[in-house]
Amino acid sequence: MSETQSSSDPATLARSLARSRARAALATSLNGAPYASLVLFAVDLDASPLLLLSDLAQHSRNIAFEPRVSLLLDGTEGHADPLTGPRLTLLGRALPTADPRCLGRFVSHHPASAGYAGFRDFHLYRVVVERGHLVAGFGRIDWIDGADFLLAFDARTLAAAEFEILRHMNEDASHIIGHYARGLLGRTGTAWRMTGIDPEGIDLRCDGETARLDFAAPVLTPEAARAALVRLSDAARR
C-alpha cells in the first residue's frame, strides 16, 4: 500500500493498494477457461482501473468475447511470508474507452507506453468494478461492493487541472518532488517526477521505481491540491 495510508476502512485500504500498483495479473475467459496474464496498471481519479491493451494480445481477444475480468493486485513485497501481506482482487467488466484524459493519465504513469499508445491496434479499457476482495493481512479479509470501492467525491474539477498541476510540479518545482522522495519516503535518486494527482494523494516515479504519498484529507480543487502539496513539502523538511 502507500507509504502513509493508515485507515482501517476496507474500501479506503483497497483504493490505497490499487493506487500504489503499476502492474496486475489480469484474468480473462478463454472459451470458458481461466486465462491469466501480466498487464500494466493504472487507475483513474475515482480508482477505476485503466488498462492499455493490444488487440493482438490473447487477453484482448478474450475480452472482446467476454468482458468480465478479474485483476489481482499484489502488495506483498517486503514481507518475509507473502501470505501475511496485502492483496486485492477486483471483479468487473473491461469496457473500451476513448477518453483522452484517461489515456493521458495512463501514459503519465507508464511513460514507455507513449511509444505505442497511439497505435491503431492499442485500446484503453476502463474496468467497471463490481466487487473487490481485500486481504489486508492475517485475519483481515473483506468483500467490498464496487460502489464502495470507488471514490464517491466529484473529482471533475481536479481531473481537469491534473495535467497542468503535473506540468508545474515537474517543470517549475522539481526540487520539491525531490524533497518528497528524500524526506517522506527515504528514497534516493535525482530524477523523481510526479505522475499523477487524485483526491487521495500523489504518485511519483524515478526511472522504474514508483511511490505513493497520501493526503491527510481528500482534495477536490486545484486550490486544495496546492495546499495539500505545501503541507507535504513542510512535512518533508522536518
What CATH number should be reported for the domain holding residue 87?
2.30.110.10
Whether residue 185 sits in one domain with residue 160? yes
Q: What is the CATH number of the domain that holds 163?
A: 3.20.180.10
State which residues form the domain around 220: 156-237
- The residue among 83 and 130 whose pLDDT is bigger is 130
C-alpha cell at 151: 471514490
Same domain for 71 and 126, yes or no, is yes
**107 and 136 fall within a common domain:** yes
Please state the rounded mean pLDDT for residues 39-64. 98
Percent of the chain scoring above 90 in pLDDT: 88
Kindly state whether residues 40 and 139 are assigned to the same domain.
yes
Q: Are residues 117 and 194 in the same domain?
A: no
| Position 94 in a domain | yes
Q: Are residues 161 and 145 in the same domain?
A: no
Residue 1 maps to a domain: no
Model pTM above 0.85: yes
For residue 206, pLDDT beyond 50: yes
Question: Is 4 contained in some domain?
Answer: no
**pLDDT, tens digit, 9 for 90 and up, residues 164-198:** 999 999 999 999 999 999 999 998 877 999 999 99
Mark which of 83, 118, 149 sits at the end of a domain.
149
% residues pLDDT > 70 (the chain): 97
**CA pair distance 27, 71, nearest whole angstrom:** 6
**pLDDT at res. 189:** 79
Evaluate whether residue 189 is within a structural domain. Answer: yes
Looking at residue 238, its pLDDT comes to: 79
Domain boundary among 132, 149, 166: 149
Strands of the chain (E only): list them. 23-30, 33-40, 42-43, 49-54, 68-74, 87-97, 122-135, 141-145, 193-198, 201-206, 209-214
- What's phi and psi for 201, nearest 5 deg? 165, -165
| Whether 107 and 90 share a structural domain | yes
Would you say residue 2 lies in a domain?
no
pLDDT at 2 over 90: no
Q: Is residue 3 part of a domain?
A: no
The whole-chain average pLDDT of the chain stands at 94
Same domain, 133 and 26: yes
173 and 64 share a domain?
A: no
144 DSSP 8-state letter: E
Span 146-175, average pLDDT: 96
Within 43-184, residue ranges assigned H as helices are: 58-65, 100-109, 146-149, 156-172, 174-179
In a domain, 220, yes or no: yes
Q: How far is CA 135 from the centre of its chain?
A: 18
pLDDT, position 27: 98
Looking at 97, 123, 149, which one is the last position of a domain? 149
Q: Please check whether residues 193 and 129 belong to one and the same domain.
A: no
- Is residue 21 one of the residues assigned to a domain? yes
**In this structure, are 80 and 99 located in the same domain?**
yes
21/125 same-domain check: yes
How many structural domains are present in the chain?
2
